[in-house]
A = this chain, B = another copy of it.
């Protein structure tokens, strides 16, 4: 089916031996790129995201300008709560605002499990178009937020350091929390299946706030729902699960059937390998702030990271999204350093 010219990422996700690890960057289609910033001046976030031509063009920018080994569709995890009936505003330089967050059982009645082909057609159209325009140069990654992370925004109503209200919601009204998590899960499964049908070559599930739950609560409110999604997607496509900060559950996550696990910069590669018994592909984990250091330091950091993770079962990436103020040359240096590195 695929005739990908560069299939390093898919090979690494399968655990196959590769000549060198693939490299891409979370948020690689983003504000550090001048061409992206130009589009931000003309179009709002949802215009960029809901116009397939714009979303596809943005998706391709890092492939063409930074020479990464994979594209990731330009979108946002909060298109899911929006499709479920919640108002979502994405305000430039401020972040997401959900003016009517979920607080009680009554609020859940405002939500529905949408027909994703209808409500999220713009993402699917963008995927089809991006896939076409990529001309099989590199694989295209689709994505969604993990249900716990989506609940965080739905309940808290905005970004937060610790999403205290979301955690409290789960502890105060666990039955309602589970109902909400299941609705998000069902929507996400349908949504991701359509992403694959539209052309996504693999999927990343972002549990950006997984690490804000204690280990036991992560097993109650996060992992079972990510697990459902992975099971549903697995026959169709490789899945990368990135639960930021959830080092304590790496072992359990490695047993979900996920093809790879993302790791942030707050864990040594050796520790992550040990915690997963070296059994699964890992993706990460340079501190994104290191891309602001001089290029020589970036190259040093990449060398150390690659030496520690090893050549196979590995996808080079940052430990979180690239920062908006990174010079393009530094992003290029990161990608080049991965490609140049000679494994012993």
Q: Looking at the assembled complex, report how far the CB atom of A216 sits from the nearest CB atom of chain B, in whole angstroms.
A: 8
Stretch at the interface among A117-125, A137-145, A179-187, A260-268: A260-268
Complexed CA–CA distance, A97 and B160 (Å): 17
Q: Which residue of B lies closest to A247 (CB)?
A: B247
- Cβ of A171 within 8 Å of any chain B Cβ, yes or no, is yes
A268 touches B248 (CB 8 A): yes
**B residues in contact with A266, CB < 8 Å:** 211-215, 245, 248
Q: Is the CB of A167 within 8 A of B214?
A: no
How many positions in chain A have a CB within 8 Å of any CB in the partner chain? 35
Assess whether A19 is interfacial by the CB under 8 Å rule: no
Q: Pick out which of these stretches binds chain B: A42-50, A52-60, A233-241, A290-298.
A: A290-298
A168 to B267 CA separation, bound complex (whole angstroms) = 18
Collect the chain B residues with CB atoms within 8 Å of residue A289's CB: 164, 167-168, 171
How many copies of the shown chain assemble into the complex? Answer: 2
Q: Which residue of chain B has the shortest Cβ distance to A326 in the bound complex?
A: B168
Q: Is A51 an interface residue (CB 8 A)?
A: no
Q: How far is the CA of A213 from the CA of B290 in the complex (A)?
A: 11
Q: Is A157 an interface residue (CB 8 A)?
A: no
A161 to B215 alpha-carbon distance, docked (Å): 21
Given the complex of chains A and B, what is the CA–CA distance between A266 and B287 in angstroms? Answer: 20
Contact of A215 among B162, B248, B268, B293 (CB under 8 A): B268
> Are A248 and B271 neighbours in the complex by a CB distance under 8 Å?
yes
A288 within 8 A of B: yes
B-chain residues with CB within 8 Å of residue A162 when the two chains form the complex = 320
> 19 new A-B pairs (CB below 8 Å) besides A160-B161, A164-B323, A215-B271?
A162-B320, A164-B288, A164-B289, A167-B289, A168-B293, A168-B323, A171-B287, A172-B293, A172-B294, A214-B266, A214-B267, A214-B268, A214-B287, A214-B319, A216-B268, A245-B245, A247-B247, A247-B248, A248-B271
A-to-B contact residues, CB < 8 Å: 159-162, 164, 167-168, 171-172, 211-217, 245, 247-248, 265-268, 271, 287-290, 292-294, 297, 319-320, 323
23 A-B pairs, CB-CB below 8 angstroms? A161-B161, A164-B323, A167-B287, A168-B289, A168-B293, A168-B323, A171-B287, A171-B289, A171-B297, A172-B293, A211-B266, A212-B266, A213-B266, A214-B266, A214-B267, A214-B287, A215-B266, A217-B287, A245-B245, A247-B247, A247-B248, A248-B267, A248-B271
